[in-house]
Structure 1
Amino acid sequence: MIRRTPLALSVLLALGLTGTAQAAGTLNFANWSDYYPPELLKKFEADTGIKATLDAYDSNETLLAKLKAGGGNYDVIVPSDSFIQIMVQEDLLQKFDKSQLPNLKNLAPTFQSLDFDPGHDYTVPYLWGTTGYSYDAKAVPGGVVEESWKAFFEPPAELKGKVVALNSADDLYPPAARYLGIDVCTENPQDAKKIQELLLKQKDMLAMYNSDGTIERMAAGEVAMHQQWNGAFHRAKEQRDSLVYVYPKEGISAFIDNFAIPKGASNVKEAHVFINWMMQPENIAAASNFAKYNNAIAGAEQFMDKALFEDPAINTPKDKLDRLRPFQLCSPKALKLRSTVWTKLKK
């Protein structure tokens, strides 16, 4: 039997989704690879009568390109905080009808107003985490590395070809800037040149740039070090206990991935039903338990796996909290410099 809270039941009644009088319709959902439990989508179908499909992409850049090209035919997408205002400015997202999202009141206080979308006009949080890096204690010289970006950006010679970086400027450029003591939103071409030089030097040491397969690569011991999201690290460590997650002293990016409805969505009503349904504590908790990331819904913790709270990579230790760096929206000039560096790096 599917468990429903009184709140969830009242919402379903209001929408006419209980019993045999289920809603007709379809939902085309797109999310990051391996970031949503298939069985939860089945539960959504059972609860609502809406037939859902799930497509995957590997980066915000890939999603943005699809939306700009008019492809995908998606009803709900999951862009990161760093891409929300870009998508809004390019008129790629549509505003919510908040009357169809009564569960917005379930957002925890910390997430009720966010800089990139203060009124939740276009987005609501899905999962959040950090982007650091991990290493295999059995594969690095001496078995331990300093809590710094140094080992990642300037790895020892023994690790050549055994280090992987994420394949996104927004994941790689900010930590490089922080390591060098440069503002991540610098508008100074000389600063950007220093970041570019560091990344070009690092490139010679890397096995690849890849945002897919981070869990499998580290769990199998294919590489010794990997820039990685904390939830992916948790899943890899479950398979290989010699892995260590690093909170660099120079700062580590905290990210929030978000539900949004793209302009031109075919099934807007169904999109609202899905997003509202995902703001029920037991539903978002199921996503957290699968992907191993925290969420923004008050009350979800009672449905979440205890192991998530015991892993310091997920439950940031108090003495590391001051190392977290929330998303910072940069000026067009700063973003152009970042894009130029990335283009030269990937030639």
Structure 2
Amino acid sequence: MRLKTLAATAAMAVAGFAGSASAAGELNIFNWGDYTSAEMIKKFEAAYDVKVTITDYDSNDTALAKVRAGGHGFDIVVPSANYVQIWVKEGLLLEARPDQMENFKNVDERWVNVPWDPGRHYTVPWQWGLTGIGVNTKVYSGDINTSAIWLDPPPELAGKINVAPEMNDVLFATIKYFGGEWCTEDLELLKKVRDKLVEAKPKWLAMDYSVTEKLPAGDYSAVYYWNGAIMRSREKNPDIKFGYPKEGFPYFMDSVAILKDAKNVENAKLFMNFIMDPQNAAMISAFAKYSNGIKGSMQYMPAEMQSAPELVVPPEFEKAGEFLTTCEPPVQELYTKLWTELQK
């Protein structure tokens, strides 16, 4: 009965912007792998009689290339902040005006007038976090608050490292490792970055997103990866510890957007409004272990998330973190060439 009441209330709330509260049909979501709460999806499906299909991707570039190619069949995508403007400028996103939806009042003020989507005309918050270090302390007991863990690996970790397959996160940390600034065009510094990555890569085991299974199981002994996944790994194996790279680490926010060629626009708008409800946002965070940007959601989350070492940045590392921004096209081209060379 409670679920039916919630569904009826939500349907009335969104009727003004979605046209009809009767939304039976489909919704196709293109999202990062292992990033979507099945519990939350089931709740949405039951509330609106909508069948949701989720397709995974492993990087912003993978998602962008797939949608650019056309014929994808997706309604929703979840790009990171530093990519949103690329999607907007290329005309790939629908100006869905989530700022006019009923639940937009729940978006935390700090995430409303954001540089990548001022006033939120295209996107709503999904989750945000940072990229740091996860280490199995049974294998390595030294300093883990450094990018040297994966750029200059100690012998104990060499050949047992996984690195996030995301260009900007990897390049950001490596540039900072050499004392540079993000979006630098310094060719001498970028040569150092390239050479270091080419030198380090043979000492990595993988670049994938199967961390929440392989890190706690011991298949990986160290990762440069996203904090929520490392928290989930620690919950399975208490020997996993989180490190904040003192040289510099990137913050990110991923946001839900509707594609310009979406076939199920009204259902996608219903989903946007749905995830701005604090209880639903809490389901998203409780699963993936990231913050979400929705006021009032914390009270519905597991208590341990309020003090988790992966989510609460120690004061001594606060200045090392920096939000990833969108570099100018010429700089992005430089970085893409460097990244392509690394993939050879």
Q: Deviations over 1:50-74 (max 9, x none)?
A: 2222221222111111101113211
CA contact (8 A) 1:133 1:225 kept: yes
SS in 1 for 2:54: strand
Distance 2:5 2:291 in 1: 21
Distance 1:282 1:14 in 2: 16
Q: Using the TM superposition, give the Cα deviation of residue 11 of structure 1 relative to its aligned residue in structure 2, in angstroms.
A: 4.6
Q: Deviations over 1:282-333 (max 9, x none)?
A: 0010111011111100000110111111211023234432222112221112
Task: Please list, as runs of the form range in 1=range in 2, the aligned pairs for 1:74-113 lying within 5 A after superposition.
Answer: 74-98=74-98, 101-113=101-113
Q: 1:160 aligns with which of 138, 158, 161?
A: 158
Counterpart in 2 of 1:12? Answer: 11
Which blocks of at least 5 consecutive residues in structure 2 are unaligned? none
Counterpart in 2 of 1:207? Answer: 205
Q: 1:257 to 1:34 in 2, by over 3 A?
A: same
* 2:328 maps to 1:335: no
Q: In terms of mean alpha carbon deviation, does 118-127 or 309-318 score higher?
A: 309-318
* 2:218 maps to 1:250: no
Task: Please list, as runs of the form range in 1=range in 2, the aligned pairs for 1:229-248 lying within 5 A after superposition.
Answer: 229-248=226-245
Counterpart in 2 of 1:171? Answer: 169
Q: 1:297 to 1:99 in 2, by over 3 A?
A: closer
Q: 1:93 to 1:158 in 2, by over 3 A?
A: same
Distance 1:56 1:302 in 2: 29
Distance 1:169 1:4 in 2: 44
Q: Deviations over 1:228-282 (max 9, x none)?
A: 1111001111111111111111221111011001110011111111100110000
- The alignment covers a number of residue pairs equal to 340
Q: 2:145 aligns with which of 144, 147, 151?
A: 147
Which blocks of at least 5 consecutive residues in structure 1 are unaligned? none
CA contact (8 A) 1:135 1:243 kept: yes
Counterpart in 1 of 2:290? Answer: 293
Distance 1:64 1:56 in 2: 13
Q: In terms of mean alpha carbon deviation, does 65-74 or 91-100 score higher?
A: 91-100
Q: Using the TM superposition, give the Cα deviation of residue 48 of structure 1 relative to its aligned residue in structure 2, in angstroms.
A: 1.8
Counterpart in 2 of 1:50? Answer: 50
* 2:314 maps to 1:317: yes
Q: Deviations over 1:172-218 (max 9, x none)?
A: 110000010111201122221111011111112111222x2011111
Distance 1:46 1:5 in 2: 12
CA contact (8 A) 1:130 1:252 kept: yes
CA contact (8 A) 1:231 1:314 kept: yes
Q: Deviations over 1:69-126 (max 9, x none)?
A: 1132111111111211111122111111347622111111211111111121211110
What TM-score, normalized by structure 1, do the two folds share? 0.92
Q: 1:189 aligns with which of 166, 187, 190?
A: 187
Q: Using the TM superposition, give the Cα deviation of residue 164 of structure 1 relative to its aligned residue in structure 2, in angstroms.
A: 1.7
Counterpart in 2 of 1:344? Answer: 341
Distance 1:286 1:158 in 2: 37
Q: 1:42 to 1:133 in 2, by over 3 A?
A: same
Counterpart in 2 of 1:124? Answer: 124
- Structure 2 counterpart of 1:213, one-letter code: S
- Structure 1 counterpart of 2:197, one-letter code: L
SS in 2 for 1:147: coil
SS in 2 for 1:287: helix
SS in 1 for 2:76: coil
- Structure 1 counterpart of 2:313, one-letter code: T
Q: 1:156 to 1:273 in 2, by over 3 A?
A: same
Q: Deviations over 1:143-162 (max 9, x none)?
A: 12252212221112332211
- Structure 2 counterpart of 1:215, one-letter code: T
Q: 1:132 to 1:96 in 2, by over 3 A?
A: same
- Structure 1 counterpart of 2:286, one-letter code: N
Q: Using the TM superposition, give the Cα deviation of residue 138 of structure 1 relative to its aligned residue in structure 2, in angstroms.
A: 0.8
Q: CA RMSD in A?
A: 2.0
Q: In terms of mean alpha carbon deviation, does 316-325 or 66-75 score higher?
A: 316-325
Q: 1:227 aligns with which of 224, 235, 247?
A: 224
Q: 1:37 to 1:168 in 2, by over 3 A?
A: same
